[in-house]
Amino acid sequence: SCTEDELRALGKWLENSVEQTEIDELFQSDWENSLAIETRLDFQEVLSRIGETDTKKNKVKTMFGQIKTNFQKVAAILLLPLLILSGYLIFNQTQSETVWFQTCVARGQKSQIILPDGTQVWINSDSEISYPDNYGKKNRSVRLTGEAMFKVAKDAEKPFLVDAGEVRIKVLGTTFNIKSYPGESSVETSLIEGSVELTVQPDGQEMPVRNFKINPGERLVYNKTKNSVAFGSFDRSEISDWTKNQLVFRNDSFENLVRKAERWYNIDIVYNDKNLDKQRLTVEMHPNEPLARLLEIIELTMNVECVCENDTVTIKSKKK
């Protein structure tokens, strides 16, 4: 231990010592070195931790990137067939969409058209014919409801096809007439010249398909009610009459006369006496003769009274 006098002497020596500056510098140097070491240690530790964090992040990013890349590859593999299939379906749908051109003839009217291949068609009253926009490219097909006469342009490579419901006709070049009205019990095909092949199949019924051929001057009559076929002959003038705008009845039943007159003059005919159905009538009207003339003939030959009101004709039997 030091006395007070000794401590004072030491203090004075330190204050006046020449080496005081060296001592201060030594202490200051030791202090700064210690701080620098701690600072470097702390900074290196921070950098090390940051590096570890970045490495972990990079590993996570790399792993996520690999998963994302693999997912994209799988998605592309799965998506490619779907795109191909979608493209095929769209293309196929576009190719399969067919536009049909339609000609409708009202009751009381007649019409004549020429198809793209030059085939001439005469269309009777209350009838409809349609054909596709690709008509003549692979084949020549038409649909018919009602009555029409065809004069088919010849083309050995492309047959002419008519869909008339239960009866379908195939020809190469010929002239024929088809009558196929929905409300009537029969479908009639009359061949004027050439040759035709007919396919008969009841609509909506599982029946065997039957094929027939007819010669010029022959008529095939298919009875839809009985599912039967009958052959017969016909007068060619029967076909040419209506195409020349001439209404003709040749031993027609009264029921048939009524249907013809309704379509020809665009009227409705009403009668209650079913005995009239048993009667037959032969009448040859002049071209463009009015309805009044036909009704006059009916009254004189059948002992009936015809009353017209607007577009309806009521036929009443006279009392004997």
SS3 of 242-292: the string is HHCCCCEEEEEEHHHHHHHHHHHHCCEEEECCHHHHHCEEEEECCCCCCHH
Query: For the residues 32-51, what does the mean pLDDT come to?
Result: 48
Q: Into which CATH architecture does domain 100-239 fall?
A: Sandwich (2.60)
Pick from 74-78, 191-195, 245-249, 276-280: least confident: 74-78
pLDDT in the model for residue 40: 45
Question: Is 139 a residue whose pLDDT tops 70?
Answer: yes
Question: Is 1 a residue whose pLDDT tops 80?
Answer: no
Q: Could you tell me the pLDDT band of residue 320, with boundaries at 50, 70 and 90?
A: low
How do residues 236-248 score in pLDDT, each as one tens digit? 888 888 998 999 9
pLDDT in the model for residue 108: 93
Query: For the residues 174-192, what does the mean pLDDT come to?
Result: 94
Instruction: Give the chain's mean pLDDT.
Output: 80
pLDDT in the model for residue 92: 55
Query: For the residues 124-133, what does the mean pLDDT come to?
Result: 96
The size of the chain, in residues, is: 320
pLDDT in the model for residue 238: 82
pLDDT in the model for residue 318: 82
pLDDT in the model for residue 78: 55
Q: Could you tell me the pLDDT band of residue 26, with boundaries at 50, 70 and 90?
A: very low
Q: Could you tell me the pLDDT band of residue 118, with boundaries at 50, 70 and 90?
A: very high
Q: Which residues contact 307 (CB under 8 A, 6 or more apart)?
A: 313, 314, 315, 316
255 vs 29 pLDDT, higher one: 255
Pick from 67-71, 98-102, 171-175, 264-268: least confident: 67-71
Q: Which CATH code for domain 246-317? A: 3.55.50.30
How far apart, in Å, are the Cα atoms of 182 and each of 131, 132, 143, 147, 187?
Answer: 19, 22, 13, 11, 9
Question: Which residues pair with residue 104 across a beta bridge?
Answer: 128
Query: For the residues 119-145, what does the mean pLDDT come to?
Result: 94
Q: In the chain, how long is the greatest CA-to-CA distance?
A: 177
Query: For the residues 134-149, what does the mean pLDDT come to?
Result: 93
How far apart, in Å, are the Cα atoms of 116 and each of 137, 149, 153, 249, 291?
Answer: 10, 16, 10, 34, 36
Query: For the residues 145-159, what does the mean pLDDT come to?
Result: 93
pLDDT in the model for residue 49: 55
How do residues 59-68 score in pLDDT, each as one tens digit? 544 554 555 5
Distance, CA of 305 to CA of 299 (rounded, Å): 6
DSSP string for residues in 11-67? HHHHHH-TTHHHHHHHHHHHHHHHHHHHHHHHHHHHHHHHHHHHHHHHHHHHHHHHH
pLDDT in the model for residue 209: 84
Distance, CA of 236 to CA of 277 (rounded, Å): 26
pLDDT in the model for residue 173: 83
Question: Is 175 a residue whose pLDDT tops 90?
Answer: yes
Using an 8 Å Cβ cutoff, are 163 and 142 in contact?
A: yes
Query: For the residues 89-96, what does the mean pLDDT come to?
Result: 55
> Is the model's pTM score more than 0.75?
no
Q: Which amino acid is at 70?
A: N
